[in-house]
Structures are given as C-alpha cells and as structure tokens.
Structure 1
Amino acid sequence: MKLTRHFLTIGNRRVHYTRIGQGPAVALLHASPCSAKVLQPVQEVFAGSFTALAFDTPGFGLSDLLPNDPPEIEDFADALAEALAALGVEQASTYGRHTGASIAVEYARRHPDRCAMALTDGFPVFTAKAAEERLKKYLLPLVPEWDGSHLVWLWYRYRDQHVFWPWHNQSLAFRADTDAPDPEFNHRGVVELLEAGDGYRIGYAAAFRHAGLAVLPELHVPVCFGNRPGDSQHRTMAAYPPEAWVQEMPRDPLAAAAAERAILLRHPPRGDVPPAPMATPIAGRSTTNYVDVGGRQVLVRVVGDIHAGPPLVLAPHVPGASALYEELLGALDIPTIAFDPPGHGESEPREDGAQGPEAWAEALWGVCDALGVPAAHLFGHNAGASTVVAAATARPDRALSVLLAAPIALPPRLRAEWAPRWAPDVTPVWDGSHLLRMWHMRRDMGLWFPWWDRRLETARAVEPRIEPERLQAEIRQVAKNPASFGPAWQALLAWPLQERLAALPHRVVLLEAENDLFGQCMPLVQAVRPEASLLRCGDNVPDKVAVIRAALAG
C-alpha cells in the first residue's frame, strides 16, 4: 500500500491530509507543532485494518488556520467533522497525540453519532497553574532574525521539548524519560515550526486552555486514554478517575501502534471511505492538488480554466517551490499551472533521485499530461528557465512560447568551476548548523556574485533584498528537502543553457526584475538570442504581472 497526499476545500479553507489503507475510517491527529508527516509510521500500521486518514490540523503543515480568534479545541473538533463529511465518511474513529488527542476526544464528545471510539496517545492533563505557566512561558514568539539565529533557537527549542518537559524548565526534576531526537527527526520538527510560523502558538495554546479530564462525564462513546513510557503525559496516569479507560502502551512506537490498532478494532466504525476528491477552487488563490507523474506525487497549483485555451506553465526556481509564487499566480489572473519539481517543495523525489533541467522538464510535461493540457506557454524563473528550455527542447510541438526570467547562464569555464562549489552541505547535523549554512548562503547570494567570493569587486551593485521575512519564506521551502539541495544546484550550474537556448526554434522573451539574483547572467543569454525581446521591471508583483502579460501579448 502506498501513502498518498491530498488537499480538500472546506469553504474558503484548504485542508491537507494523507491517506493509506482500506476499510472503515480512522482519523489521525498530530501533536503540536508538527504535521501529519510525524504520524506516518503509525498510519502505516493502522492501514492493515483501516483507511487511515492523517490530517494536518488547521494552522499546521499545509492546512489553513481556522477563522476563529482564537480557536478552541472544540473548533478544531468541528473542523475535523467538516473535513470527514466532505470526504463522505459516515463514521470514524479518532486517534490523536497530545494536541491531537484533545481534538480526538472532543470530536467524540461533540459528534458521538459520527464517532465509533477515540484513542489517545498522551491526552494533555494539566493543573490550572501548569496550564497558565505554559501559556505564559512555553509558547514564545517565532521572529525571523537577520543573522538566522532564530533557526538555532528553533533547533534547540524543538530538541529540548524532548529532553525536558516542559522544555523551558531545564533542571533534573523536569528531565524527560526518553532519548533526544536524531538530527533528521529534529530537522523535520523545525521545518514544521517554520511552516506554521508564529501562528504555531494559536493551535498549541488551545490545548493548554482545553478542559482536559473535565470532559469525561460528557463522553458517550468508548474513549481509551493510552499513555506510553517516555512520553511527557505518562506521569499523568494516576490523575484519571477509576471509571476512565486508561491503558499503558509499549514504549516502542511500532509496538505501541500495533497495540493501538488492536484496541481500535474493538469498536470499528461503520462504512467505508469513498475515493479521495480533488480540491475545488478558492477565490483569489491557486487550487492545490497532487497529480501522479511516473508513479510519484507532484504538487500542482492551478489558476483559472486551463482548458479554455493554452495556459501558462510556471516552472519555479529550484531549490525552491511553487509556494513562493503564490502571490504572483493570484495577481496574474490568467489560466496558469505551477508545480513543485520532483524532490522539491511538496513533491516526491523521482524513484531514481534524478535532478537537473531534463528531469524537471519531464515532470513539467507529466503534469500537463495529468491535467489534460496538450500545449502551453512556458515561463521559467532562474533555474525554472533552464527547466523551460529543456522542456521546449524535448517537446517543441507543445511549447507555444518561451518566457525566461533571469536565466542562470554561465561560461563553460565557470560551469565546471562553480557547479561543485556553489552549494554547501546541508545534511542535518546534531547542532543545527546546517540551517545557518543554508541561511547565510542565501543571504550572501544577495550581496556577492558568486556568493562565496566576498571581495569588494564581486559585490552586487543593487539594493540587497535580504529582509529576514523574505529569507525565511525561501528557507522554509528549501529546507524541506535537504537531500535535493546540493544535487539540484550542481546539475543546474553545469547545464549548458546557452547552447540549448540557441537551438530553440521558438519565440523567446527575456524578462528581468531589478535586483534579481541572476540578472547579471542576462548578457550571456542575450548573446545567443539577440533577437529576443528584453522586458525589465521593478521587483514587485504588479510590475512582474505587467511584463508577463506584455510578453504573452507580443
């Protein structure tokens, strides 16, 4: 069985979830500040008996925040009811960890006719004093700093959440009964904190305000309160009243998942789960879905009716993701497709792990095939320009025009010299320093060209766009796939863009926004396509929209 990822539209709200298995539904809800990704091992165990649906709860992962200000656990439970109804699920069991456990139990309380049972892994139990302390000290603001120091703070903040409980009480009395997380686990947690941003405090705080064990008299469906040794809530087991169904689970996570599945089988929900629907449009933003390309899921963003005529296909810069172009997509207001190339953003890597313009171009046409688009205008930014040139080279009959925004073009000598040097090693390490390497590489790209040659003569003579908020938006996307970072840069910089571009029979338009990181490559591009129009614009969305529209009209 293969785990698949999906989007769902609830009113003006986007919901993201994963799915695996067959049979009756069990809804899995993660702890804060994580996403459904952390539940995949449990989800795969449950899939032996159920359709296991793991949701990014509102405000986490790729799911939108709730409109309530502030939302309470009751609102999260009702939001889950809306999502399950939209999926055509008549009845489900719920399973949750920590914040997710509060939601799972609250769903059982508020929607007993639609809940077969609830099972928790560490239901939050706090005294009033402890809850008040956590609301004041536990949820510190997440503020981007110019030097990236907030990334190191996040690294140790998330690590110490597993070393102390609560993390800010760093003394022997509060040492956790578990191992410290490994670098890969810690990296995922930090990326999920970055994904939620400062809004991580919204859903987290709701768990500290929840009534906890006071809801027990109002539960009218079976609820099993599971706790594992090593979990911060294990010590609360003595606080439950005698009539509560309390179960100690094995310490080993997979053994615990097997025991939990057996408990869920005692009260199976009625009905099966229909096939996953596609997300529907939301006014003013792109519609996100996943499509299958070569047996791997690729995230796509669609704006407008892409079948009314040939759409524009936007190939993003990589390492990066289409999420960084969301504002541009909405402002263009023309039928457009954007996608995350394999191994970047939210798209799965190819089975062979291949990176480079040809691989990304293959995904571009795979996306068009999946969406039923025979031909399109192609627009690529930076590395995306190489994707577009490779795509037009591979299928010249399907590329109607080629729009290139600040392509990355280098002389052959620099290709050989820079390709192995451009990207530092960003493999997650124990102290989180790989995040600082990522941050300062990107920051220095705005100051020097090449970024590692920090001499006066290589300083960029443009206003630097190195605002912490901008850098964080980019790092948040790039950090999702550290394994693709180096290979993507190496393949891109070694690729002979000029030679491939010179051979294209298509109409080519060159676009350049002021301050673009690779604007200094434009003379080399113009040298091989002197007949191509060059349209320049400011570094803002309205100006970019104007030149893209002008390029398409020409």
Structure 2
Amino acid sequence: MRLTRHFLTLGTRRLHYTRIGQGPAVCLLHASPCSAKVLQPVQEVFASHFTALAFDTPGFGLSDLLPQDPPEIEDFADGLAAALEALGVDQASTYGRHTGASIAVEFARRHPARCAMALTDGFPVFSAKAAEERLARYLLPLVPQWDGGHLLWLWYRYRDQHVFWPWHNQTLAFRADTDAPEAAFNHRGVVELLEAGDGYRIGYAAAFRHRGLAVLPELTVPVCFGNRPGDSQHRTMAAYPPEAWVQEMPRDPLAAAAAERAILLRHRPRGAVPPSPLATPIPGRSTTNYVDVGGRQVLVRVIGDLHAAPPLVIAPHVPGSSALYEDLLRALGIPAIAFDPPGHGESEAAGEQGPEAWAAALWGVCDALGVKAAHLLGHNAGATTVVAAAASRPDRALSVLLDAPIALPARLRAEWAPRWAPDVLPAWDGSHLLRMWHMRRDMGLWFPWWDRRLENARATEPMVEPARLQAEIREVAKNPESFAPAWHSALAWPLPERLAALPQRVAFLAAANDLFVQCLDLALSLRPEAKLHRSGDGPADKAAAIRAALAGIA
C-alpha cells in the first residue's frame, strides 16, 4: 500500500490530507501544533482494514485556517463534516490525538449519523483553572527574531512539551512519563510550528476552551476514550464518570495502534471511499495538487488556463520550494505553473539531486498536466533546472528566462561548491537551525557568504528581514537531507557552458538586491543578444518584468 497526499477545495479554503488503504473510512486528526505527518505510523496500521484519511486540521500543515474568529472545536468538527461530504464519504469513524481527540468526539456529538464511532488517544481534560492557565501561559507568540533565536526557542519549546506537562511548568511535579523525542522527531515538530506560524495558537486555544467531559451525556454513538502511559492525558483517567468507555492502551505506539484498530473494527462505518478528487480553483490564488512523476508525487501550483496559451513554468531556487513563488504567481496574470522539485518542499524525495533530475521532473509535470510546450523561468539555482530542461527538449522549451542565475566560472565552481552548504541534518541541540538561519542571513551580507571580509560585503540592501528569512528557512528545513546535495549540485554544474549552447531565445531578469546579482555579468557576456529586465524585489514588479521579457522574445 502506498500513502498518497491530496488537496481538497472547500469554498474559499484549501484542505490537505493523506490517504492509504481500502475499505470504510477512518479519519485521523492530529494533536496541536503538528500535522498529519505525525500520524503516519498509526495511519499505516489502520490501513490494513480501512481507508485511513489523515487531515491537516485547519491552520496546521498545508491546510488553511477556518473563517471563524476565533474558531471553536465545534467549528473544526463541522469542517470535517464538510470535507467528508466533498469526498463523497457517507459515514466514517474518527480517531484523534489531543486537539484532534476533541474534534473527533465533537464530530461524533454533532454529526452522529455520519459517525460510526470515535476513538481518542488522550482526550483533553482540564479543570477550569488549568484551562485558564494554558490560555494565559502555554501559547506564547511566535515572533521571528533577527538573530534566529526564536528557532532555538521553538526547538526547546517543542522538546519540553514531551519532557514536562505543561511545558512551561518545569519542575519535578510536572515531569512527563516518557522519553525525550529524538532529533528528527523534534525537527519535524519545529517545521510544523513554522508552517502554522503565530496562528498555531488559534487551533490550540480552541482545545483549551472546549467543554471536555461535559459533552459525554450528549453522545449517542460509541466513543472510546483511550489513554496511553507516558501521555500527558493518562493521568486524567480517574476523572471519567463510570459510564464512560475508558480504555488504557499499550505504552508502545505501534502496539497501541494495533489495539486501537481492533476497537475500530467493532463499529465499522458503512460505505466505501471514492477516489480522491483534484482540488478545484480558488479565485485569486494558485491551485495546488499533486501529480505523479516517475512514481513519486510532486506538488504543483497552477494559475490560469494552461491550454489557452503556452504557460510559463517556474523552476524555483533549490533548495527551496514553489511556496515562495505564490505571490508571484498571483501577480503574473498569465497561465503559469510552479512545482517543488523531488526532495524539496512537499514533493516526495528522489534518489538523485541535480539539474538533470530537476529538469526531468519539470517535463514530467508538464506531461501530467497535458502541457506540450512552455516558456521556462528559473530563479537562482532554478536556472540550472530550466537550462537543462531546454537543452534536453528543445522542441518543447519555447524560451528561457533566467532570473539572477548562479553563473560561476569554472574556478569558483570548483572552490565554492564543496563548501557552500553547512551540515544541517537535525542535531540534538537544534544548532542546525541556527546554521541554516545564519548561512542565509550572511548570504544577504557577503558574497560568498562565508568570506566575511570587507571586500566581499554586498553593496545592496541585504534582504535579511526576519519574516523573509523565516519563510525561506521553513521551506528548506522540510528536507534537510537534500540541502547540501542540492547546493553542491547547483553550484558545481557547468551552467555558463550549457547556457552558451542553448538554441532557444534567452532573456535575463534581476532585482537589484538579489542574492546572486553578482553573477549577472558572466551570464550576460555569454548571451550578448539577450535583454536584461531589471525589477524591484516585490511580486508586482517582478511579474511586470517577466511579462515584458516574454513579450520581447515572442
């Protein structure tokens, strides 16, 4: 069985979920501040007998916030009902952890005809005093800091959530009965906090405001309140009334998942789950979906009618993702595609990193979308993608636009490629996050970034605003194992030689403060016939320059 990822359009918002297995539906709902990724081991166990659907609850992962301000758990439950209706699922069981447990139970209460049963892994039970304290002290603002210090705060904030309960009461009385998380687990949690941003507090707060055990008399479908030793809610088992179905689960997560599956099998939902539909357009933004390229799911963003005219395909800078080009897509006003190369952003990992592999993915995306020919735009290291793509399929590449391409002479390629990227694999102390942050920050201050002599100081505005850096770090941190290989491949690749040999018409773009604007002179010298279109850094200015470049080479 293969786990697949999907987007669903619900009015003006987007919902992301994963799917695996066959049979009746069970909906998995994660704890705050995580995403569906944390539930994948459980999802795979359930998939032996069910179609296991794990949702990024609104405001977390890749799902949009709910429109209510503020939303309550009841709104999240109604949102789940709307999602199941859009998926054509008549009835489902619900399984939730912590915040997700509140949603699972509330769904059973509010939509009993749609719910075969609910099963919880740590249903939140708080006294009024504890809930008030959580709302006041637990949910601190997430504010980007210039020095990246908030990344370390997030690292230890998420770690201590598993060491103390609540995390801010760091005394022996509040020590958790569990191991500290491993570095990779903690890293995923930090990335998910960065995905939610300061809005992580919205869904979290709803759980603290929920009525908790007060909903029990109103439940009309079976609800099993499971609790595991080592979980923060295990100590609340004595608070349940005698008539409640309370079950202690094994401490081991996979053993608990097997026990939970056996309970779910007692009350199987009726009906099957239809194939997942594609997300439909939302006015004013790109449409996100996954397409299959070489047996791997690749995330694509599409705006406009791809068959009205040959579209523009944007190859993002790597390491990075298409999420950083969403505002540009909205501003373009022409049919366009952006994608996450395999192993970057939200696309599945590939075994190979490098321009040829990224170029193959580009044409694979076009094939999946029914695009026969396109204009190509590559930004920074994305220039290697489009030059490789244009060289491999000159019959399909109508023109090549290069936005501040990383064009280096052979000597600098040999010197810089091995040392450009530091090791950013998750470290026990979170220090890899600071390496990511300060590498990127110093890229805005020196060129090359590690040679911090005055003669290498950049003479342009440095582009080191904390919010900008946080957005970029969030995307590259999703795949730390691809970070160094992608940088090495992009810098070592002979872009100048390949660019000079391209048969297509070429145009250049650049913002004055682009991180690789210093490479323009070499690139321009290789294609003296190509016009340079300068622009500001904002998406509207960049979009105008792109339209002018396309008009000039049409």
TM-score greater than 0.5 by the shorter chain:
yes
From 465, 468, 492, give the equivalent of 2:466: 468
How far apart in 2 are the matches of 1:190 and 1:488?
Answer: 22
Aligned to 1:421: 419
From 477, 480, 488, give the equivalent of 2:478: 480
1:75 is displaced (CA, Å) by 0.1
Aligned to 1:334: 334
How far apart in 2 are the matches of 1:107 and 1:82?
Answer: 11
Task: Give the letter for the 1:281 counterpart.
Answer: P
| Residue 144 of structure 1 pairs with residue 158 of structure 2 | no
Aligned to 1:363: 361
How far apart in 2 are the matches of 1:79 and 1:542?
Answer: 34
Aligned to 1:25: 25
- Secondary structure of residue in 1 paired with 2:145: coil
How far apart in 1 are the matches of 2:489 and 2:311?
Answer: 28
How do residues 58-73 of structure 1 correspond to structure 2 at under 5 angstroms? 58-73=58-73
How far apart in 2 are the matches of 1:226 and 1:538?
Answer: 56
Aligned to 1:241: 241
| Residue 155 of structure 1 pairs with residue 158 of structure 2 | no
Ranges in structure 1 where 5+ consecutive residues have no aligned partner: none
Task: Give the letter for the 2:471 counterpart.
Answer: A
1:309 is displaced (CA, Å) by 1.8
How far apart in 2 are the matches of 1:412 and 1:384?
Answer: 19
How far apart in 2 are the matches of 1:171 and 1:99?
Answer: 24
- Secondary structure of residue in 2 paired with 1:439: helix
1:333 is displaced (CA, Å) by 1.6
1:65 is displaced (CA, Å) by 0.2
Structure 1, 202-211 or 539-548: larger mean CA deviation: 539-548
- Secondary structure of residue in 2 paired with 1:265: helix
Task: Give the letter for the 1:357 counterpart.
Answer: P
How far apart in 2 are the matches of 1:191 and 1:318?
Answer: 18
Aligned to 1:437: 435
How far apart in 1 are the matches of 2:69 and 2:533?
Answer: 44
How do residues 83-482 of structure 1 correspond to structure 2 at under 5 angstroms? 83-350=83-350, 353-482=351-480
How far apart in 1 are the matches of 2:191 and 2:538?
Answer: 27
Task: Give the letter for the 1:246 counterpart.
Answer: V
1:539 is displaced (CA, Å) by 1.4
How far apart in 1 are the matches of 2:424 and 2:166?
Answer: 29
Task: Give the letter for the 1:285 counterpart.
Answer: R
Aligned to 1:3: 3
How far apart in 2 are the matches of 1:243 and 1:539?
Answer: 63
Q: Give a deviation string over 1:185-216, Cα, whole Å, max 9, x none.
A: 00000000000000000000000000000000
- Secondary structure of residue in 1 paired with 2:267: coil
1:68 is displaced (CA, Å) by 0.2
1:56 is displaced (CA, Å) by 0.1
Task: Give the letter for the 2:381 counterpart.
Answer: A
Q: Give a deviation string over 1:480-518, Cα, whole Å, max 9, x none.
A: 000000000000100000100111110000111110000
How far apart in 2 are the matches of 1:258 and 1:542?
Answer: 53
How far apart in 2 are the matches of 1:56 and 1:119?
Answer: 18
1:543 is displaced (CA, Å) by 1.2
Q: Give a deviation string over 1:121-151, Cα, whole Å, max 9, x none.
A: 0000000000000000000000000000000
Task: Give the letter for the 2:373 counterpart.
Answer: A
Return the TM-score normalized by structure 1.
0.99
Q: Give a deviation string over 1:432-468, Cα, whole Å, max 9, x none.
A: 0000000000000000000000000000000111000
Q: Give a deviation string over 1:221-260, Cα, whole Å, max 9, x none.
A: 0000000000000000000000000000000000000000
How far apart in 2 are the matches of 1:85 and 1:406?
Answer: 46
How far apart in 2 are the matches of 1:523 and 1:311?
Answer: 28
Aligned to 1:524: 522
From 497, 503, 506, give the equivalent of 2:504: 506
How far apart in 2 are the matches of 1:134 and 1:51?
Answer: 35
1:430 is displaced (CA, Å) by 0.5
Structure 1, 233-242 or 538-547: larger mean CA deviation: 538-547
- Secondary structure of residue in 1 paired with 2:309: coil
1:404 is displaced (CA, Å) by 0.4
How far apart in 2 are the matches of 1:305 and 1:270?
Answer: 39
How far apart in 1 are the matches of 2:537 and 2:138?
Answer: 39
Ranges in structure 2 where 5+ consecutive residues have no aligned partner: none
Q: How many residues align?
A: 552
Greater than 3 Å deviation, 4+ residue runs: none
Task: Give the letter for the 1:136 counterpart.
Answer: A
1:308 is displaced (CA, Å) by 1.4
Identity %: 85
Task: Give the letter for the 2:227 counterpart.
Answer: N
- Secondary structure of residue in 1 paired with 2:277: coil
1:28 is displaced (CA, Å) by 0.2
How far apart in 2 are the matches of 1:22 and 1:77?
Answer: 24
Q: Give a deviation string over 1:21-64, Cα, whole Å, max 9, x none.
A: 00000000000000000000000000000000000000000000
How far apart in 2 are the matches of 1:119 and 1:238?
Answer: 18
Return the TM-score normalized by structure 2.
0.99
- Secondary structure of residue in 2 paired with 1:144: coil
1:537 is displaced (CA, Å) by 1.2
How far apart in 2 are the matches of 1:267 and 1:87?
Answer: 21
How far apart in 2 are the matches of 1:450 and 1:468?
Answer: 21
How far apart in 2 are the matches of 1:270 and 1:321?
Answer: 40
How far apart in 1 are the matches of 2:209 and 2:472?
Answer: 33
1:541 is displaced (CA, Å) by 1.6
